[in-house]
């Protein structure tokens, strides 16, 4: 399997395997949705859901609280 990042990661979340796999999933689901008419609600729903996964990983990785740091 090819690496999704040719250069060193710029952000911390890009180092996470989960983040890398979620980007691969977005690409896979986009290819899957290409032949499906975009007017179908399932197309929009899967597009929004697949895009939210890497965004949520990035957001969660960027949050630090005193509790997280002390444990």
Domain-wise residue ranges, the chain: 15-70
Give residues with Cβ within 8 angstroms of 43, minimum separation 6. 33, 36, 37
HEC readout, 47-64: HHHHHHHHHHHHHHHCCC
58 closest CA partner among 22, 6, 24: 22
Res 62: pLDDT = 73
* 3 state SS of 41: helix
C-alpha atoms less than 13 angstroms from C-alpha of 71 in its C-beta half-sphere: 5
Residue-wise pLDDT tens digits, 14-68: 778 888 899 999 999 999 998 988 888 888 999 999 999 988 888 887 766 666 5
Between residues 27 and 1, which one has the greater pLDDT? 27
């Amino acid at each position: 399997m090819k690496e999704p990042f040719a250069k060193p990661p710029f952000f911390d979340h890009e180092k996470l395997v989960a983040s890398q796999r979620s980007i691969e999933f977005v690409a896979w689901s986009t290819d899957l949705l290409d032949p499906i008419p975009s007017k179908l609600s399932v197309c929009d729903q899967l597009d929004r859901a697949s895009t939210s996964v890497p965004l949520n990983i990035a957001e969660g990785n960027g949050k630090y609280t005193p509790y997280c740091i002390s444990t």
